[in-house]
Structure 1
Amino acid sequence: MNHNHQATPDSAMSLADGPPSQLVTKYWLDEASISDIDHFIKTLSGIKAKGVQPDLIGSIITHYACKWIPELSDQPASPTHTDDQLPPESATASWLKKRFFIETIVSVLPPEKDAVPCGFLLRLLKTANMVGAGSNYRDEVEKRVAWRLDQATMKEVMIPCFSHVKGTLLDVELMVRLVKRFVEINLEGLRSGAGLFKVAKLVDAYLAEAAVDSELALPEFMELAGAVPAQARSTDDGLYRAIDTYLKTHVHLTKQERKILCKLIDNQKLSIEASLHAAQNERLPVRSVIQVLFSEQAKLHSHINWSRPISNPKSPNLGLDLTARCNSSRDIITLQQMEIKQLKEHVNKLDRQCHLMQSQIDKLLEKKKGFFSWRKFATSTTLGVVSVEVADGRGGGKGYDSGSIGKQTPVKGKQGRSKTPKPWRQSTS
């Protein structure tokens, strides 16, 4: 990285003397970007000694790092003329040089955590994990990212997993650490609590993307979902979407695991659209579906009770205002009550039909059982009785009047057919 054109310390000192213009700042950044890293560190130390604002120092470091490592820039990498002039080097040498560069950049970051943008820090953390930087350097970057996690975007937090042990596509463990640190910072009162809502939405979107990975274990999914406090979610629609995606991908989950996973959802925080989807979702356990239905019924009753006009108002004008404000909502509430009543009647009708069908099935089973027992009896007496409706010729069957018909012994003819004497045939003709 040694070049002939280097930024002079005089230009750095003149930058620190007063508030520079945007043109001068850009010119000096371009000057500093073509110097080697040793000279850059010396120049940066002189700037810090002059008391330059931390955000300006962070801009200098960001610009310099993005110049030499294109992965740290949010813009697509463009080919430079200096790359063509450099001799080719091995992959190991490039990897070692990049790791040394990353560790050096982390060591010169300003102590103020707001001096460097969160997006640059996340790209820096991604590259540090990729090149295997020291754990102390990575931990420092993680602390800075956790401080400003509410400013991160979905694309920036999707850091791949570079571990050979884990088989997941995304580094879910890293995301868990970042979220837990951010929550601790907010619970300690060091940051405003408004960022928790942004992080909760970010986590739910991240879970929906990570749930597609079949290698993502259930404990990791639940740990990240539970890292956000329950009060940080104004709605659980995003969490429900992530859980539904996980259930769709991981079809091998047991019934107990599905119940444990669905307990993360607060049914009171589901919208009407999400509740309707959950009520018809075959992937959810039956108990969870019933809880969603009961929750919607409770919310509907509470809405009806809240919308009722206040009885015995203190002033007539107040009563008139309440009546005027509730005129439009009464019709809606009446329609809702009628729909609920019709639904209950329909459910009762289906219940009665179900009981009736069950009783008919029981009767058919009893008749079928009696038919087979009578058939068995008739089959066992075929060789000794002419017909089922006549008495046994060898002494009369039970329950039959043998004297009214007459006792005759069946005679076997050809081919095993019963042959009756002529008097018998004449008496029955």
Structure 2
Amino acid sequence: MDENCYLEVDVNGEEVFMVDKRVISSYSGKINKLFSKSNKTHHLKVIFHDFPGGAANFELITRFCYNKGKTANINPSNISNLICAAHFMEMNKFFAGTENLCEQTEKSLQEIKYWTWSEVLVALKQCQNLLRKPISSIILDKLSDSLIGRIASSHETSPCPSFSSPESPGFRLSCETRSSESFKNGVVRTTYWWFEDLVALNTRVIEVLVRSMVSKNFDNAIISKFLCYYQKSRFVTASSGEKSEMIETVVDLFSALDISYVSYKSLFEILRVGLNISLSHICRNKLESMIGSLLDQVTLDNLLVPSPAQKSYLYDVDLVVRFLRTFLRKGVCCVPLSRLKKVASLMDFYLVEIAPDPHLKPSKFLAVIRALPDSARDSLDGIYRAVSLYIEVHSTLSEEQKMAVCFGLNYEKLSTETFNHLIQNKIFPPKSITQALICRQRKLKSLLQDTEQVATTNRPSRSSQIVPKGRKGGGSQQIVLYARKLNLSDENEKLKAHLQGMQWRVSELEKVCRKMQFRMAKMMKSRLSSRSNARSVPKICS
């Protein structure tokens, strides 16, 4: 080789090649452009920092050039590198006589349908190192289409049949549940056989594959299971940076699925893992939003997430409040009542669990109570138990703080048994008990008025409406009179039962009122005594 034609090529710092400039430039547009106008003939050198496939791949390129544009070594293990290198060296214009390297490699890629599963995987693994190259996306799309088609075909020929919706051209992979355990195991092996093979691929390739699956209507339940399997399998050996990238990719892909096919347990596992690594704000919001939309499925243990390290309280209450806001983001009216009641019941248990935390501030405790409307609960007995426990544990709270906590209670939605317990509860502030009594009195009077209106509407005759003069006793005696004098037919038996029930309720009202008067008198007596002795006012409940 003429000394003036020597070209020194440093490939990614791995190896230095001495090649004939004339031979290489006749096939490479890049080399031709670099030296065609150069007058320098000695010590020619070019340095490549990002040559696709490194030194080994450059050697294949030089062999192609020295072999007059012929190569018999294009195969699945090097085709991705060769395609990228051919485009990098611009080997698509400067060869006359036969096909240039770009044409040869792309023609070989068209034979992908004859490759084995293993060969496609090998090509994908090679391609994952070339994702920053412009041409790599075209290669990756072809490889992923081939891979997904083979997965779909395996389901279609398996004992668990696959079917497609008439309106959808894509895949729909699912199977019926059978009682036979051996059949179930066979279905699992048939359905998920490809999980382990794809674990070796990096997150960028997985993202391309999964998004392609979603676009082809691949079964979201299977995709969800694969993402969980992938994250668990790779997480242990991944670096901290890889862990963050992996979690964010998996969460982003979960958000592209039908949320009903995503396991809330998997989401909570990812959430707990994410507490120890740096996740972007967008990723955390997506994860919390998905969990919030599935809140009616979760258990109490799932919600007991430790608080951030810089916080003194035990559990992350703010996180649960965000879950609740997400669950109700479309409005209470848009949430089925059955789901709403499940969440309300779950929150009752959660409130009892967090109430004993001595570092939990009243404002955070109240935030959980108020996150759901009263309409979500048939009874507020569960909230009462939590409030009672909270006040008992936080005995150092001021009367104002205790009253603030009690504002979370709607006394009208307490059962009679719970209400009776409240008015005898020594730890509740006197003002709260007084408000409860007044509220119950108002409620009973309202019920009494409603009953009197019903009775008036259903009177059979004018004479039966007359109440003897001088009769005292208020609404309870009138109800008794109506219940006795009304000549009710069979159709009005329900009304009779209602009137008799109201008679009992009003009797209870009178008992409660007497108790209230007694306690108010006792409270006034105690206040007068405390003024004379310069002592604090004692609690009225004893």
Indicate the TM-score class for this superposition, using the shorter chain for normalisation.
0.5 to 0.7
Report deviation, 1:202.
Answer: 2.7
What is the aligned counterpart of 1:229 among 367, 373, 383?
Answer: 373
Contact 2:264 2:291 (8 Å CA) reproduced: yes
Alpha-carbon separation, structure 1, partners of 2:200 and 2:519: 81
Alpha-carbon separation, structure 1, partners of 2:306 and 2:517: 54
Counterparts of 1:26-45 in structure 2 under 5 Å?
26-33=189-196, 35-38=199-202, 40-41=206-207, 43-45=209-211
Instruction: Specify the SS of the correspondent of 1:131.
Output: coil
Report deviation, 1:155.
Answer: 2.0
Report deviation, 1:256.
Answer: 0.9
AA aligned opposite 2:437: L
- Greater gyration radius: 1
Q: Which moved more, 1:280-289 or 1:344-353?
A: 344-353
Structure 1 unaligned runs (5+)? 70-82, 84-88, 362-429
Report deviation, 1:338.
Answer: 5.8
345 and 270 in structure 1: CA distance in 2 versus 1, 3 angstrom threshold: closer
Q: Per-residue CA shift, 1:300-331, capped at 9, x if unaligned?
A: 44445555672474769983236644666666
Counterparts of 1:4-403 in structure 2 under 5 Å?
9=147, 11-14=150-153, 15=155, 18-20=171-173, 22=175, 23-24=186-187, 26-33=189-196, 35-38=199-202, 40-41=206-207, 43-66=209-232, 97-114=242-259, 115-161=261-307, 163-186=308-331, 192=336, 195-304=339-448, 306=450, 310-311=455-456, 313=458, 319-321=488-490, 324-325=493-494
Match of residue 404 from structure 1: none
Contact 2:264 2:294 (8 Å CA) reproduced: yes
Contact 2:228 2:266 (8 Å CA) reproduced: yes
Aligned residues: 331
Q: Per-residue CA shift, 1:14-40, capped at 9, x if unaligned?
A: 248754454556434243135324265
AA aligned opposite 1:101: M
Alpha-carbon separation, structure 2, partners of 1:349 and 1:43: 76
Contact 2:255 2:286 (8 Å CA) reproduced: no
Percent of matched pairs sharing the same residue:
22
Report deviation, 1:177.
Answer: 1.7
Structure 2 unaligned runs (5+)? 1-117, 122-146, 157-169, 176-185, 462-485, 530-542
Alpha-carbon separation, structure 1, partners of 2:514 and 2:255: 70
AA aligned opposite 1:32: F
Alpha-carbon separation, structure 1, partners of 2:512 and 2:223: 67
Contact 2:244 2:277 (8 Å CA) reproduced: yes
36 and 230 in structure 1: CA distance in 2 versus 1, 3 angstrom threshold: same
AA aligned opposite 1:58: S
Alpha-carbon separation, structure 2, partners of 1:354 and 1:125: 52
Report deviation, 1:237.
Answer: 1.8
Report deviation, 1:179.
Answer: 1.6
Contact 2:318 2:364 (8 Å CA) reproduced: yes
Alpha-carbon separation, structure 1, partners of 2:371 and 2:520: 44
Alpha-carbon separation, structure 2, partners of 1:124 and 1:52: 23
What is the RMSD of the two structures over their aligned residues, measured on CA atoms? 4.1
211 and 30 in structure 1: CA distance in 2 versus 1, 3 angstrom threshold: farther
Match of residue 427 from structure 1: none
Alpha-carbon separation, structure 2, partners of 1:330 and 1:13: 68
Report deviation, 1:267.
Answer: 0.8
Report deviation, 1:299.
Answer: 3.7
Contact 1:147 1:185 (8 Å CA) reproduced: no
Instruction: Specify the SS of the correspondent of 2:331.
Output: helix
